[in-house]
Amino acid sequence: GPEEGWTIYVTGHSLGGALSTICAADMAEKYPGCKVVNYNYGSPRVGNAPFVQGFNQAVPEAFRVVNDADVVARVPRSRGFDYYHVGRTALVSRSGGGGR
Protein backbone atom coordinates (compact mmCIF):
# COMPACT_ATOMS: atom_id res chain seq x y z
CA GLY A 1 0.00 0.00 0.00
CA PRO A 2 0.93 3.66 0.01
CA GLU A 3 2.18 3.36 3.60
CA GLU A 4 4.98 0.96 2.58
CA GLY A 5 8.25 2.06 4.17
CA TRP A 6 6.66 4.48 6.63
CA THR A 7 7.82 4.72 10.24
CA ILE A 8 4.94 4.78 12.71
CA TYR A 9 5.65 6.23 16.17
CA VAL A 10 3.29 5.23 18.97
CA THR A 11 3.59 6.77 22.44
CA GLY A 12 1.68 7.15 25.68
CA HIS A 13 1.94 7.82 29.41
CA SER A 14 0.69 5.67 32.30
CA LEU A 15 -2.47 3.85 31.15
CA GLY A 16 -1.92 5.52 27.77
CA GLY A 17 1.50 3.84 27.72
CA ALA A 18 -0.18 0.45 28.10
CA LEU A 19 -2.58 1.35 25.30
CA SER A 20 0.34 2.48 23.14
CA THR A 21 1.90 -0.96 23.56
CA ILE A 22 -1.29 -2.67 22.38
CA CYS A 23 -1.63 -0.16 19.53
CA ALA A 24 1.99 -0.69 18.42
CA ALA A 25 1.45 -4.47 18.34
CA ASP A 26 -1.70 -3.94 16.27
CA MET A 27 0.05 -1.53 13.87
CA ALA A 28 2.96 -3.93 13.37
CA GLU A 29 0.51 -6.69 12.44
CA LYS A 30 -1.68 -4.54 10.18
CA TYR A 31 1.16 -2.76 8.39
CA PRO A 32 4.02 -5.27 7.96
CA GLY A 33 5.74 -2.97 5.44
CA CYS A 34 6.12 -0.25 8.07
CA LYS A 35 8.60 0.16 10.89
CA VAL A 36 6.74 0.62 14.19
CA VAL A 37 8.50 2.39 17.09
CA ASN A 38 7.01 2.51 20.60
CA TYR A 39 7.91 4.92 23.40
CA ASN A 40 5.92 4.61 26.59
CA TYR A 41 6.30 6.43 29.87
CA GLY A 42 5.29 4.98 33.24
CA SER A 43 3.33 2.13 31.66
CA PRO A 44 1.94 -0.76 33.68
CA ARG A 45 2.70 -4.30 32.54
CA VAL A 46 0.59 -5.26 29.53
CA GLY A 47 0.92 -8.89 28.49
CA ASN A 48 1.97 -12.41 29.31
CA ALA A 49 5.27 -14.00 28.21
CA PRO A 50 4.06 -15.08 24.73
CA PHE A 51 2.66 -11.57 24.09
CA VAL A 52 5.93 -9.94 25.18
CA GLN A 53 8.01 -12.29 23.03
CA GLY A 54 5.84 -11.62 19.96
CA PHE A 55 5.77 -7.88 20.64
CA ASN A 56 9.55 -7.62 21.04
CA GLN A 57 10.00 -9.44 17.75
CA ALA A 58 7.40 -7.35 15.87
CA VAL A 59 8.42 -4.01 17.46
CA PRO A 60 12.16 -4.26 18.17
CA GLU A 61 12.40 -0.50 18.77
CA ALA A 62 10.29 -0.30 21.92
CA PHE A 63 11.41 1.84 24.83
CA ARG A 64 9.90 2.13 28.30
CA VAL A 65 10.87 5.19 30.34
CA VAL A 66 10.04 4.80 34.01
CA ASN A 67 10.60 6.72 37.22
CA ASP A 68 12.02 4.35 39.82
CA ALA A 69 9.44 5.57 42.37
CA ASP A 70 6.39 5.23 40.07
CA VAL A 71 4.01 2.59 41.45
CA VAL A 72 1.99 2.40 38.20
CA ALA A 73 4.97 0.85 36.41
CA ARG A 74 4.91 -1.98 38.96
CA VAL A 75 1.33 -3.16 38.37
CA PRO A 76 -0.10 -5.60 37.92
CA ARG A 77 2.46 -7.49 39.96
CA SER A 78 4.18 -10.10 37.85
CA ARG A 79 3.97 -12.71 40.59
CA GLY A 80 0.68 -14.56 40.30
CA PHE A 81 -0.53 -12.65 37.23
CA ASP A 82 2.28 -13.41 34.77
CA TYR A 83 2.27 -9.92 33.21
CA TYR A 84 5.56 -8.53 31.93
CA HIS A 85 6.98 -5.33 30.42
CA VAL A 86 7.93 -5.06 26.75
CA GLY A 87 10.94 -3.46 25.10
CA ARG A 88 13.98 -1.87 26.68
CA THR A 89 13.83 0.08 29.93
CA ALA A 90 15.29 3.50 30.68
CA LEU A 91 15.10 3.90 34.45
CA VAL A 92 15.01 7.42 35.86
CA SER A 93 15.78 7.80 39.55
CA ARG A 94 16.22 10.57 42.08
CA SER A 95 19.98 10.39 41.48
CA GLY A 96 19.47 11.42 37.87
CA GLY A 97 19.05 8.47 35.63
CA GLY A 98 20.39 5.24 34.39
CA GLY A 99 19.27 2.48 32.16
CA ARG A 100 18.64 -1.21 31.88
- What predicted TM-score, i.e. pTM, was given to this entire model? 0.86
Count the neighbouring beta carbons within 10 Å of the beta carbon of residue 12.
20
pLDDT tens, position by position, 44-74: 999 999 999 999 999 999 999 999 888 888 8
Per-residue pLDDT band for 98 (boundaries 50, 70, 90) equals low
Name the residue ranges covered by the structural domains of the chain.
Answer: 7-92
- Burial of 15-44, coded b for 16+ CB within 10 Å and e otherwise, reads eebbbbbbbbbebbeeeeebebbbbbbbbb
Residue 73: its pLDDT value, please?
A: 85
What phi and psi, each to the nearest 5 degrees, are found at residue 32?
-65, -20
pLDDT value of position 29: 97
